[in-house]
Amino acid sequence: MKKSILTLTIFAFTIGGILTGCMKPSQKVKVAQDNVTKANEDLDKANKEYLDEVVTYRKEIAEKIAENDLKITEFSTKIENEKEEAKVDYRKKIAELKQKNNDMKLRMDDYKVDGKERWKMFKTEFSHDMDELGKAFKDLVVKNTN
């Protein structure tokens, strides 16, 4: 984020310098103002897109977490017909998955919007962890149906 702002600013001043070399002082001021205005508009647009992406991702994750909660409830109902020994094992695995699901929800809720680069790193790591949690749910269901 900071690199793109710096690059944009340097670019604006470079172009401004080139164009203002042959202009009257009043024209130079006008060009510089236009460049700053354009740079600010671009920055505002980039920030809006970034914040929209965060909101959209949070909604997607909330839906996945809700789906996981539903799977936990459904699976808990299904295992009632199992032998007591198997139920104990499944309940333990369900409790672990439920805890991981809740931890993921808390991680997302606690995330503070603090820069595009940090967001990218957080999103990559979080998506990986969510995928792993999804695989764990699938593995549990597959083991039960065999």
Does residue 75 surpass a pLDDT of 80? yes
What number is the average pLDDT over the span 116-130? 92
Domains of the chain: which residue ranges?
2-145
Per-residue H/E/C for the chain: CHHHHHHHHHHHHHHHHHHHCCCCHHHHHHHHHHHHHHHHHHHHHHHHHHHHHHHHHHHHHHHHHHHHHHHHHHHHHHHHHCCHHHHHHHHHHHHHHHHHHHHHHHHHHHCCCCCHHHHHHHHHHHHHHHHHHHHHHHHHHHHHHC
Reported as a single tens digit per residue, the pLDDT across 9-52 is 676 667 666 655 666 777 777 777 777 788 778 777 878 888 89
6 vs 28 pLDDT, higher one: 28
The whole model's pTM is what?
0.68
Interacting residues of 36 by C-beta distance below 8 A, sequence separation 6+: 12
25 vs 65 pLDDT, higher one: 65
